[in-house]
Structure 1
Amino acid sequence: MTKLERTRALKRDLALAGLMVAAGLTISAVSFAELASQPNVAQATPPLQSTPGAETKPTAPDEPGTTGSRPHEVAPQPARPDAEAIDAGAKPALPPAPAEKVGDPIPTK
Structure 2
Amino acid sequence: MAADRTRLRNDMLIASTLVVAGVAIAVLSLHAINAAPPQEMAQATQPLQTTPSPEPQQTAPAESKPGGERPTTPAPQPARPDADAQKAGARPALPPAPAEKTAPPIEKK
Verify same fold: TM over 0.5: no
> What is the TM-score normalised by the length of structure 1?
0.42
Give 1 or 2 for the bigger CA radius of gyration. Answer: 1
Q: Which has the higher contact order (CA 8 A, sep 6+)?
A: 1
